[in-house]
Amino acid sequence: MARVTTEETAVVQAGVSRRSFLKGTAAVAGLTLAACVAPGPQAASDMAAPAEEPVNIQIWWRLRPTIEGAIQVFEETHPHITVSLGDLGEAVYGTPKYVTAVAAGKGPDVSYQNRHTFRQFASRNLYRPIEDLLERDNLDKGNFMAGPIADLTWQGTLYGLPHTAGTRYFFWNRTHFEEAGLDPDVGPETWDDIMEMAPQLNKMEGDRIVRYGFLPHFPPGLSDQLLIYAMENGGFSQSEDGRTNLINTAPWVEALEWCDNIIDEFGGGHAAASSFMEGFAGQPVDPFAQGQVSMCSYGNWMIGRYAKFPDLDYDGTGLMPVSAANEGAQVNWSCGWTFVIDPNTELVEQGWEFMKWVISEDYVRAAGTVGLELEKEEWARQQLPGEPIFAPTPPVYQPAMQFMLDEYYSVLPERQKIMMERYLDSETFSVGCGQIAGLAAAELWIGFKNAWESALTKKQTPQEALDASHADVQKALDAAWENLESA
Amino acid sequence: MLRDQAVGPQPTREIHPGARGQPLRRLLELIGTQLHLVLGAIVFALPFVWMVSTSLKADRQIFAFPPIWVPDPFIWGNFPAVFIYAPMHLYFFNTLLIALAHVFGAVFTCSLAAYGFARLRAPGRDLIFMVMVSQMMIPYIVMLVPLYLLFAELEWIDTFYPLTIPAMLGTPFYIFMLRQFFLTIPMELEEAAIIDGASRLRIWWTIILPLAKPALATVAIFSFMFAWNDFTGPLIFLNSREKFTLSLGLQAFMFERRTMWGPLMAASTMMIMPILIVFFLAQKHFIQGIALTGIKA
Amino acid sequence: MTTAQPKPRLTNAAREALTCYLFLLPWGIGFLAFVIGPVVASFVLGFMDYEIVTPARWVGLANYIELFTDDARFGMSMGNTLYYVLVFVPFHVIIATLLALLLNQKARGIAVYRTLFYVPSIVPIVAGAILWVWILQPEWGLINSTLRIVGIEGPLWLASLTWSKPALILMALWGSGAAMIIVLAGLQGVPQHLYEAAEIDGANRWQRFQHVTIPMLSPTLFFILVLSVIASFQVFTTAYVMTGGGPAESTLFYMLYLYRRAFVLLDMGYAASMAWILFVAVLALTLIQFKLASRWVYYEVEQS
């Protein structure tokens, strides 16, 4: 879209001074043009056959040594394709670079995208559907983890290939457990367990709490913290048809009340608990790693990071603790990254070839080779004892996952190995963030943050806070459906 | 002609009036001044000290609280490690090139326009001036998409042009600032030159610019610093690594769920060192004003 | 080059006008080439429903109507921003001036001091942000520890609904070194003979400051005032990095909300209309400042 017309091109070439002047108006004209031509899914017949000369494709991903190393391998094994690698920039809460380029019709051929806003964008045809390619090349959806595939499917059509997935663990500090006379091998399985253990794990200095058994608002700065507690309590974010937001229903309100109560009861109240937490707001500090919080729910990406704290003896081999109302249920959710093809690119074949490669074990091997070296370097640089713990982000494609397990996770200490098994188990019950978020994804994540903060700062009761967020999200959801159906 | 009026650097009198006062009072004032300076410097130097200290720490110490100021052990390796993740030396030259274009625009183009706005009368001049000032009031981010489209049509995406050409054609901030300075330069100097038959361009070059040296030094450092630290422009308009700037390079240490704080701080330290050195060397120009005594022709 | 081969027929005034336009020309080219188009485009977008991934639709005043009638965040974010502007701007101007006066003297090591005072304005925001978390930490942060010495229990700062904005203002004021440089440069333009004359007339230090320094510095102070207002209405980065608008949207500033609309919610048309409301508000304020300037700003050159 937004191709310059010949007329405009002529204007552009008509001399320097006039060009400068006219470009201003051309920009307006061009923008209107860009805005008025909708990017539509391209027919399969438009796909270009692989050319003899190497074809260059634009990929926006990350500029990391591991990725650059992998791209090098890809180019060596695919001599007919060269890759221009760009960095996507901020991509979780707003994607200014990608959005700007796409709006101007100049998006990359292939891009890396987060899954939590995926359906919102897929429903607007921001990505090319890939069902036809999948079918032609006999790529079995069953070989992928189910949650991510569901995230990327909008009205029966798959719009991208999932690359990685992250999930949640419940971590506990084994040393603290032993100190408190608790069994360090068994973490809490229910909310009642947490309520019982947390006060035993608290540590006082005078009338000040210097170690917290459990602080529900750790880790801070993750706007999805409320989500995991609500799911533990049997809540879900929206109705099955995706039209009704449910975050002010009973499971959510109870979950938020529960968090609020813990802070009041075992955390010395909002002021003390928040003042303890404040130093950590979205920042590098981690009281769990430093032994100042004994239990927390956090992501699988922490396995590698916590390894760099030699004094921390942690465990994460349990299931996510659930509320009494939800007893016996297995709960988790996952989010992660995905590759998509620009609906307007002519380089579908090349882009698709890259995508198939990047989800495979060949990529895991190529990136892992570099990643392991980097981990060794970091381990040596930080003067850490023992062997490096290399825990790369698990892929969604099962053969690649199996390869990673054999190659990298099999050599890890026993507990980390068990945690990886838990990760694989969770595939059967984890819900993907794309399904959670639906069509008003950005509003939902903002709504989580607002409700969470409003309730914990006592600006509003949990019910009021969730009602307010629900109203915001529902409004956006209604608008999204209306737009979709009127289009 | 200027020689007669130009006198060297001068102490500022309102704070140092005691040149001829009592010695004790002078001493007390001196101590008071130093005390203020030292206290202020401690507060203002904190980020720098913290940054350098963090750049020499291992993760387990960066994350410690209460904070540790002196690393143990010193992780000097964070500095060489920077280059594994980002070729900062390459980014350095890219950034320098862009920054110099900004300085050129600020010092020459902007001072030309500022002279026009400050010293020459023309119908519509003040309206044009307000239009220029009001340009700063439109949030940059709503102009990004149209700008991107414009640069895409010029085939300027992933080149330095979007980051240099507009800046070389002037920036309202610097024009406004220089205009304010030019407005305080006494008219007598210029009038004498006009009577001598000098052209306006010559007056701008030989009278105004030398007199405005502190102001020019200021816009130079401002524009340099802006370009050095600018993130949004390079992020949106540059794609390939060979063209990256230092501020984009810092992204190499910030992963989705994890930041490599040690190398990030080491890279930040390396990034601001050149500005600090340039500033340290240039700062005397801020006070090398031209004394405008004895102007009466 | 001498100015534009003036024809003998031209009057002096016409010649001066022509020269003036020529001086403005390089900037004018840039303005016409790179500014006016995007500005007009964003204005037009304000009347459209443009969600980037779908075609833009003309909706007339709908965005503006929704902003004023059906968007609580519009008023709230504007309120947060006004709070910021009203507190930040006066402090900023005063602190920059005081710092400049302090550093405009001949003291031992003054070059080092000037550099140190300037440092916070160039430290990359990601590096500075972490330090501020340490400074503002309620329990053992620098500020509250200091306050505790004198027996005051400090606030929760970034975790508090009432103190989150002052915390961000404090953080921004710490970067006053940039404005300090401008004042420092302005101080050089104060003619020495005026001080001498005042001293002969028996003026004391304060009187000299009041009657010589302030008037001669007024164009610079005016510039800083106008620019601080414009810039602080667009406050964004500190809140984006430190709080993400929280807690409970107490630091959701106008630009943060605008950014959210544009790049998170992909509501580019709505964001454009927000930008134009901001533009009109700031322009009005700036025009008032220019109007009032004649009462306190002293220029060598007569203003038309």
Residue A275: what pLDDT?
A: 67
Query: Which of residues A102 and A56 earns the better pLDDT score?
Result: A56
Residue C62 within any structural domain of the chain: no
Cα–Cα separations (whole angstroms), residue C31 to B23, B115, B142, B146, B157: 58, 17, 17, 14, 20
Percent with pLDDT over 70 in chain A: 86
Give the chain C residue whose CA is nearest to the CA of B198: C2
Per-residue pLDDT band for A6 (boundaries 50, 70, 90) equals: very low
Are C19 and C163 in a shared domain? no
Percent with pLDDT over 90 in chain A: 53
Q: A174 pLDDT exceeds 90?
A: yes
B73: preceding bond cis by omega (within 30 degrees): yes
Per-residue pLDDT band for A43 (boundaries 50, 70, 90) equals: very low
Fold of A167-334+415-486: D-Maltodextrin-Binding Protein; domain 2 (3.40.190)
Q: A350 pLDDT exceeds 80?
A: yes
Are C173 and C219 in a shared domain? yes
Phi–psi pair at C65, nearest 5 degrees: -65, -45
Q: A328 pLDDT exceeds 50?
A: yes
Mean pLDDT of B91-109: 95
The contacts of residue B80 (CB under 8 Å, 6+ apart) are none
Asked which of A11-20, A99-108, B151-160, C214-223 is least confident by mean pLDDT, the reply is A11-20
Residue A18: what pLDDT?
A: 31
Q: A1 pLDDT exceeds 70?
A: no
Are C34 and C121 in a shared domain? no
Query: CB B75 to CB A63 under 8 A?
Result: no
Q: Are strands A81-87 and A203-205 parallel, antiparallel or unpaired?
A: unpaired
- DSSP conformation letters of B50-72: HHHHHTT--HHHHT-SSPPSS-S
Q: A135 pLDDT exceeds 80?
A: yes
Total number of residues shown for chain B:
297
Give chain C positions within 8 Å (CB) of A284: 130
Q: Are A441 and C264 in contact (CB under 8 A)?
A: no
Q: What tokens does A124 get?
A: 């607007």
Q: What is the pTM of this model?
A: 0.88
Q: A393 pLDDT exceeds 70?
A: yes
Q: Are strands A431-432 and A333-341 parallel, antiparallel or unpaired?
A: parallel
Q: B20 pLDDT exceeds 60?
A: no
- Mean pLDDT value across chain A: 84
Residue C159 within any structural domain of the chain: yes
Residue A12: what pLDDT?
A: 33
Give chain C positions within 8 Å (CB) of A450: 246, 248-249
Give the chain A residue whose CA is nearest to the CA of B151: A27
Q: A185 pLDDT exceeds 70?
A: yes
CA distance A372 to C111: 47
Q: What tokens does C166 get?
A: 């002052």
**C112 at interface of B, judged by CB pairs closer than 8 A:** yes
Burial A296-307 (b: 16+ CB within 10 A, else e): bbbbbbbbbbbb
Residue C146: what pLDDT?
A: 87
Are C180 and C227 in a shared domain? yes
Nearest Cα to A263, choosing from A253, A254, A274? Answer: A274
The ipTM (two decimal places) reads 0.88
Q: C10 pLDDT exceeds 80?
A: no
Are C103 and C241 in a shared domain? yes
**C205 at interface of B, judged by CB pairs closer than 8 A:** yes
**Highest mean pLDDT range out of A279-293, B173-187, C33-47?**
C33-47
Per-residue pLDDT band for B279 (boundaries 50, 70, 90) equals: confident
Are C171 and C258 in a shared domain? yes
CA distance A205 to B233: 50
Residue A188: what pLDDT?
A: 95
Considering only CB atoms, A31 lies closest to which of C41, C157, C266, namely C41
CA distance A277 to A299: 18
Mean pLDDT of A218-233: 83
CA distance A375 to A373: 5
Residue C51 within any structural domain of the chain: no
Asked which of A197-201, A339-343, B161-165, C101-105 is least confident by mean pLDDT, the reply is C101-105
What's the CA angle centered on C140, arms C135 and C144, to 5 degrees? 65
Considering only CB atoms, A275 lies closest to which of C138, C259, C263, namely C138
pLDDT per position as a tens digit, B198-250: 889 999 999 899 888 888 988 998 999 899 989 889 999 999 889 999 999 98
Give the containing element (helix H, strand E) for A205: strand A203-205
pLDDT per position as a tens digit, C83-128: 999 999 999 999 999 999 988 877 778 888 888 888 888 888 777 7
Are C34 and C150 in a shared domain? no
Give chain B positions within 8 Å (CB) of A28: 146
Task: Name chain B's partners: 3 or more CB pairs within 8 A.
Answer: A, C
Residue A284: what pLDDT?
A: 56
Q: Using CB atoms and an 8 Å cut-off, which of residues 66-125 of chain B contact chain C?
A: 66-67, 109-110, 112-113, 115-123, 125
Residue A276: what pLDDT?
A: 65
Query: CB A97 to CB B78 under 8 A?
Result: no
Query: Which of residues B151 and B285 earns the better pLDDT score?
Result: B151
- Mean pLDDT value across chain B: 84
Nearest Cα to A128, choosing from A357, A339, A311, A370? Answer: A339
Are C140 and C270 in a shared domain? yes
Mean pLDDT of A215-237: 86
Could you count the other beta carbons within 10 Å of the beta carbon of residue A76?
9
Q: Are B145 and A31 in contact (CB under 8 A)?
A: yes
Query: CB C27 to CB B199 under 8 A?
Result: no
Q: How many domains does chain C have?
A: 2
pLDDT per position as a tens digit, A359-386: 999 999 999 999 999 999 999 999 998 8
Are C102 and C201 in a shared domain? yes
**C130 at interface of A, judged by CB pairs closer than 8 A:** yes
A92 exposure class (CB count in 10 Å sphere: 0-12, 13-18, 19+): middle
pLDDT per position as a tens digit, A294-305: 999 998 888 888
Residue C249: what pLDDT?
A: 92
Residue C218 within any structural domain of the chain: yes
Residue A293: strand pairing partners: A212
CA dihedral A107, A111, A117, A121 (to 10 degrees): 40
Give chain A positions within 8 Å (CB) of C41: 27-28, 31-32
Residue C3 within any structural domain of the chain: yes
Per-residue pLDDT band for C212 (boundaries 50, 70, 90) equals: confident
Q: Are A105 and A344 in contact (CB under 8 A)?
A: yes
Q: Are C276 and C46 in contact (CB under 8 A)?
A: yes
Q: B2 pLDDT exceeds 50?
A: no
Mean pLDDT of C157-166: 90
Q: Residue B289 has what DSSP assignment?
A: P
pLDDT per position as a tens digit, A426-478: 888 889 998 998 898 889 988 998 999 899 888 999 999 999 999 999 999 99
Q: Which domain holds residue C9?
A: 1-44
Q: B75 pLDDT exceeds 50?
A: yes
Query: Which of residues A216 and A109 earns the better pLDDT score?
Result: A109
Asked which of A271-285, A330-344, A464-478, C240-254 is least confident by mean pLDDT, the reply is A271-285
CA distance A24 to C33: 5
Query: Selecting from 3.40.50.2300, 2.60.120.260, 3.40.50.10190, 1.10.3720.10, what CATH number does the domain B81-293 have?
Result: 1.10.3720.10
Are C193 and C268 in a shared domain? yes
Query: CB B180 to CB C24 under 8 A?
Result: no
Query: CB B235 to CB A97 under 8 A?
Result: yes
Q: B296 pLDDT exceeds 70?
A: no
- Sign for the CA dihedral angle at B199, B200, B201, B202 comes to positive
CA distance A67 to A63: 7
CA distance B83 to A361: 28
Give the containing element (helix H, strand E) for A83: strand A81-87
Are C77 and C210 in a shared domain? yes
Query: CB C279 to CB B138 under 8 A?
Result: yes
Amino acid identity for residue B100 in this structure: L
Interface test with A, best of B54, B55, B61, B63 (most A CBs within 10 A): B63
Are C204 and C248 in a shared domain? yes
Q: A340 pLDDT exceeds 60?
A: yes
Q: B125 pLDDT exceeds 80?
A: yes
pLDDT per position as a tens digit, A65-76: 999 999 999 999
pLDDT per position as a tens digit, A400-420: 999 999 999 999 999 888 998
Q: B294 pLDDT exceeds 60?
A: no
Residue C161 within any structural domain of the chain: yes
Residue A41: what pLDDT?
A: 38
